[in-house]
Amino acid sequence: MPSPSSSKRLPLWFAIAVLAIVLDQLTKWLILRNFAFGDSVTVTGFFNVVRVHNTGAAFSFLAGAAGWQRWFFVGLGLIATGVIGALLKRHGHQTRFALALSLILGGALGNVIDRLLHGYVVDFIQVHAAGWYFPSFNVADSAITVGAVLLIWDELSRARKA
């Protein structure tokens, strides 16, 4: 049963998810508007802004599939939305846990929007050093990563208390 404080904080958690979506979509719109596919601009010795399209998931997982992965990842994102919404309703009073879920929700939906609009996810952040390049990513991916780190931190804190 959700606690009363969980329900009261639900608008806050959804607002954070919406903020992540808006920031993600705004940055992707800027990239699509100002960069041709494959363009790259060096910002520092370890950071470039690029325009790449990812038809797969993290690290281009399943990018070479025949197209079915688009709908698979859209469906997965929508299922995750339902699960996260239920978790937020039940555990919204747990600040770190709910913040983590909100960021993951916003990031997941930001990438789902790309898949629905374009058939791929727009990635544009490229980090590299000494000839090694980390796979390009975007604001949605960053929100998901920060959310995952917060989830791990929350669980480790909870386990330490037990």
Query: What is the end-to-end Cα distance of the chain in Å, rounded?
Result: 22
* Catalytic residue flag (residue 39): no
Query: Tell me: the pLDDT tens digits for 98-131?
Result: 999 999 999 999 999 998 999 899 999 999 999 8
pLDDT band at 86; cut points 50, 70, 90: very high
Per-state percent for the chain, helix, strand, coil, to nearest 5 = 65, 15, 20
Query: Tell me: the pLDDT tens digits for 2-27?
Result: 566 777 899 999 999 999 999 999 99
Q: How far apart are CA 150 and CA 162, in angstroms?
A: 18
* Catalytic residue flag (residue 141): yes
What local confidence, expressed as pLDDT, does residue 128 receive?
95
Q: Check 24, 114, 141, 154 and give the catalytic one.
A: 141
Q: Check 24, 39, 114, 123 and give the catalytic one.
A: 123
Q: How far apart are CA 9 and CA 157, in angstroms?
A: 22
What local confidence, expressed as pLDDT, does residue 103 receive?
98
